[in-house]
Structure 1
Amino acid sequence: MQYFDVDILAVADELIEAYVEIFTAPPWEHRNAEATWAEFRQRLEADAHRPGFRAVLARSDKGTVDGFVTGWITQAPFRTDRAYAKVTTRLGAERVNELLVGTFEVDELGVRSHARSTGLGRRLLSALIDTAPGGRAWLLAWSGAHDTLAFYRRIGWQEPDPISGNETDIVVFLSPGWPGNSSVITG
């Protein structure tokens, strides 16, 4: 495992190559590879400068990126771009501020198809969140990524209940090490 902060930009092309391969394959096959490359490069260049940004890469014996995970400390005010507005819709602004702001946000986790079912995803997540403030980390996933949702549930990540009637196409997960996890799940 290789650990990075803003220095991830020195290996950005390798990371982006893996990202595009992973996130243009099913269930994301509708995404255009060139547009995905450009969008993720732009995001990575900005995200690498976020407070608390960290990344972990796992390489194959040949030196290529087999998997990666990135994240940072969620800041106030809570963002409204990308899928963040759906998080607020799903949980409500008060719970978002209570549960997510100031905690470690896992932004991207990807494992190339040939490296899946090896425990790499779990190891990458653990390597990134082991130093999360107070053991608290969170992530969101698209509800259409059924294998991804099953993976997070299988390794102990838990979903806070959405506000009744405010379900969205994203699912929020809290890390297994979240203090008092069972009491925050139901709000």
Structure 2
Amino acid sequence: MSVQVFRGADSLAHVDALRSVYVDVFCAPPWNEDESTGDAFVRRLAGDAARGGFTAALAFAGAEVVGFATAWTTGTPFPTGRCYPQVAAGLGPERTADWLCGALEIDELAVRPGARGRGVAGELLAAVTADAPGGRSWLLTSTCSPHAVSFYRHRDWTQVTHPSPDGQGIVVFLGPHHPARGLAALPSPPP
């Protein structure tokens, strides 16, 4: 297995393979997305590749793409589409601006089921965050996947928001080298 890093639109040469991995991962439990989200991902990826700092790390087993991670630099002012309002509500306006704007935002991390358990996800995450500005990287994930939450915790990412009172929704993590890691009241880890 090898990991290759692509900048900007260079990753789009592998768009069919990225869509295939996306569907394998996110149309299965716990995400349970409809297969049409793979097409939406491809459309979004074309625009995302033009974002400042866009980076994609792809894991190859021979010629087959078995996983990928994508990231870009979060803009200023903080975006308002997708899940960004939930992030801003969880952190508050000052922390959102100070901690996330200008930081590397990990958007997607996906590894085919047959390639899991071999450190592929950790290698992808390390590759895509290697050049995070000032070590500042962040991501959000859904609490519907305790495995994802546990994965980031075990890689020294710091959870800095709490899920909603019913335990549902998204949580924000700061990367291992983010200077604000110790500034937030941390949620209690699960038993």
Structure 1 and Structure 2 fold alike (TM over 0.5): yes
Please name the residue that 2:114 is paired with.
114
Q: Which amino acid aligns with 1:140?
A: L
Cα offset, 1:161, TM superposition: 4.1
Partner SS, residue 21 of structure 2: helix
Q: Which residue of 1 aligns with 2:87?
A: 87
- Deviation track 1:65-84 (CA, whole Å, cap 9, x = no partner) reads 11100000000111111111
Q: Is the 8 A contact 2:4 2:58 kept in 1?
A: yes
C-alpha contact (below 8 Å) 2:141/2:171 kept by paired residues: yes
Please state how far the C-alpha of 1:180 moved relative to its aligned partner: 4.8
Q: Which runs of 5+ in 2 are unaligned?
A: 187-191
Mapped contact 2:59–2:66 kept (Cα < 8 A): yes
Write out per-residue CA displacement over residues 21-56 of structure 1, whole angstroms, 9 at most, x where no aligned residue: 111011022x211x1122101110100000000001
- Alignment-derived partner of residue 159 in structure 1: 159
- Residues 31-46 of structure 1: pairs in structure 2 closer than 5 A: 31-33=33-35, 35-46=36-47
How far apart are the structure 2 equivalents of 1:156 and 1:185? 15
Contact 1:157 1:175 in 2 (8 A): yes
Counterpart contact for 2:161–2:173, Cα < 8 Å: no
Q: 1:168–1:26: structure 2 CA closer, same or farther, 3 Å change rule?
A: closer
**Matched residue pairs, number?**
182
The offset of 1:179, in angstroms, is 2.3
Match for residue 101 of structure 2? 101
Amino acid across the alignment from 2:77: P
Contact map agreement 1:58 1:66 (CA 8 A) in 2: yes
Partner Cα separation in structure 1 for residue 46 and residue 87 of structure 2: 23
| 1:125-156 per-position Cα deviation (integer Å, ceiling 9, x unaligned) | 11111110111100000111111001111111
Q: For 1:177, what is the secondary structure of its paired residue? A: coil
Q: Verify: 1:8 aligned to 2:11, yes or no.
A: yes
| % identical aligned pairs | 42
Aligned to 2:142: 142
Give the match for residue 20 of structure 1.
23
CA distance in 2, matches of 1:99, 1:9: 29
What's the Cα RMSD here? 1.8
Matched ranges for 1:43-62 at <5 A: 43-61=44-62
Please state if 1:185 is matched with 2:180: no
Shift in CA distance, 124/108, structure 1 to aligned 2, threshold 3 Å: same
Q: Partners in 2 of 1:8 and 1:40 — Cα distance?
A: 13
For residues 61-100 of structure 1, the C-alpha deviation after alignment (integer angstroms, 9 at most, x for no partner) is 3x11111000000001111111111101111111100110
Q: TM-score, normalised by structure 1?
A: 0.91
